[in-house]
Amino acid sequence: MRLQTELSWVSQELHQVRLAFNEAKQIEDTLDKIVGDVAALKQEHQYILSKGGDFANNLDLVTNAIPPEVYFTVIEMGTDQITIEGEADNAFTVINYVMALEALGRLSEVRIAEIDEVEITEIEITETETIETEITVISFIIVISR
């Protein structure tokens, strides 16, 4: 009977060990999958960075040539193209900005995709009143190919 009791106890211990082993194996499999997923994400991240170019350099490129009368409203950067939307005081300022970008010699093409005269309302709020002033600005879109 004593042998039967010990055998039963050993069987229970073995069963517990197998359960713990199976649980550890599941955890290990989950961790292996997570490690693989993280490695794939890192690789994809590096690919995106290499395809997208250097954001800081591109931003530096388009902002160093900007005249003080030009204001950006949107800058979009893709793999081979930068799109700038903005406003300027007059059309000649936009043309001068395009010429300054071309003069850098680091871009394959700089073109004005859209230019238009628009009226905007400037609002000035003082302690006693709100003053609305209609002003005319030049709205533009410039497309830069690298």
**Residue 74 · residue 83 · CB < 8 Å:** yes
Tokens of 108: 């394959």
Give the model confidence (pLDDT) of 116-128 as tens digits.
999 988 888 888 9
Write out the CATH class of domain 55-145: alpha beta
Report pTM: 0.60
Listed by start position, the domains of the chain span 1-52, 55-145
3-state secondary structure of 54: coil
Q: Distance between CA atoms of 108 and 11, rounded to whole angstroms?
A: 77
Residue 101 — very low, low, confident or very high, per pLDDT cuts 50/70/90? very high
Count of residues in the chain:
146
Q: Distance between CA atoms of 146 and 141, rounded to whole angstroms?
A: 16
Give the model confidence (pLDDT) of 25-46 as tens digits.
999 989 888 888 888 888 877 7
